[in-house]
């Protein structure tokens, strides 16, 4: 399965959000869908979000613990807690409800748009199925210097996070064993990378990644 960086599809809800104002970061990843398979963006979103880390099962309690600690530590800054847990299966996304820590703004066979806004960040993430490809894209706006500092913790891993997340979701949707090997090192979930941040070694962002406003 070949995952590549790409531009956010122009006819998507995510692109409309990107173009509605200044943004700090925007990028996407894509993968071709086999000709004989039909992929629903809602199921792709659910499968990707269902497991918020590449951590092995035996160590997943550490991720649960970190998510809880992060929720307590960051709550005074307006950051909403991550509701994903290792033993909680994610439902199909529905508009007005939440998928993991994110509100669902749009949900159709073609696109699922998720996101949130707090005192630090406003972001959107989209799962898109179009023209024989599946995409994950993200657009983020920092709201102040504290938001810039929070984003700086995760920006260098963002491209790898998107690629890993798309590979994980598509592997599950297709029923194949093509997920990356787990490293066993849980990391903090980055706000814009809703599939939660798998551990990653930095790869240079390409495609539509942008920095600075």
The string of pLDDT tens digits covering residues 139-166 is 999 999 998 998 888 788 888 888 988 9
Residues 32-84 have pLDDT tens digits of: 999 878 999 999 999 988 765 444 444 444 445 545 555 555 555 555 555 55
Round to whole Å and give the CA distance between 183 and 31: 23
User: Quick check: helix, strand or coil at residue 130?
Assistant: strand
Residue, of 115 and 199, whose pLDDT is higher = 115
Give the span between the Cα atoms of 65 and 57, in whole angstroms: 14
Stated pTM of the model: 0.71
What 3-state class would DSSP assign to 6?
strand
Reduced to 3 states (helix: H, G, I; strand: E, B; else coil), residue 208 is coil
Q: What region, left, alpha or beta, does residue 151 occupy, with left being phi > 0 and alpha being psi -120 to 50 degrees?
A: alpha
Domain ranges for the chain:
4-174
- 22 has a pLDDT exceeding 80: yes
Region 20-25: mean pLDDT is 93
Q: What is the pLDDT of residues 3-21, one digit of tens each?
A: 999 999 999 999 999 999 9
d(CA 50, CA 195) in angstroms, rounded, equals: 8
pLDDT surpasses 50 at 207: no
Between CA 154 and CA 176 the distance in angstroms is: 29
Q: What is the pLDDT of residues 69-128, one digit of tens each?
A: 555 555 555 555 555 544 566 778 899 988 877 899 999 999 999 998 888 889 999 999
pLDDT score at 176: 83
Instruction: Provide the CATH number for the domain formed by 4-174 in this structure.
Output: 3.30.530
């Amino acid at each position: 399965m070949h995952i590549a960086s790409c531009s956010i599809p122009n006819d998507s809800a995510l692109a409309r959000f990107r173009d509605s104002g200044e943004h700090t970061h925007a990028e996407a990843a894509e993968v071709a869908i086999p000709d004989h398979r039909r992929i629903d963006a809602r199921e792709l979103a659910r499968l990707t979000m269902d497991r918020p880390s590449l951590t092995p099962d035996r160590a997943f309690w550490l991720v649960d613990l970190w998510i809880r600690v992060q929720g307590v530590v960051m709550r005074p800054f307006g950051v909403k807690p991550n509701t994903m847990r290792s033993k909680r299966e994610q439902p199909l996304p529905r508009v007005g409800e939440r998928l993991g820590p994110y509100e669902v703004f749009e949900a159709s066979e073609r696109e699922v748009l998720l996101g949130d806004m707090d005192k630090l960040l406003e972001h959107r993430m989209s799962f898109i199925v179009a023209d024989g490809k599946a995409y994950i894209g993200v657009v983020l706006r920092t709201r102040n210097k504290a938001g810039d500092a929070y984003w700086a913790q995760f920006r260098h891993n963002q491209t790898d996070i998107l690629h890993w997340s798309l590979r994980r979701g598509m592997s599950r949707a297709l029923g194949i064993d093509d997920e990356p090997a787990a490293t066993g090192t849980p990391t903090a979930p980055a706000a814009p990378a809703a599939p939660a941040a798998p551990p990653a070694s930095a790869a240079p962002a390409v495609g539509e990644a942008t920095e600075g406003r």
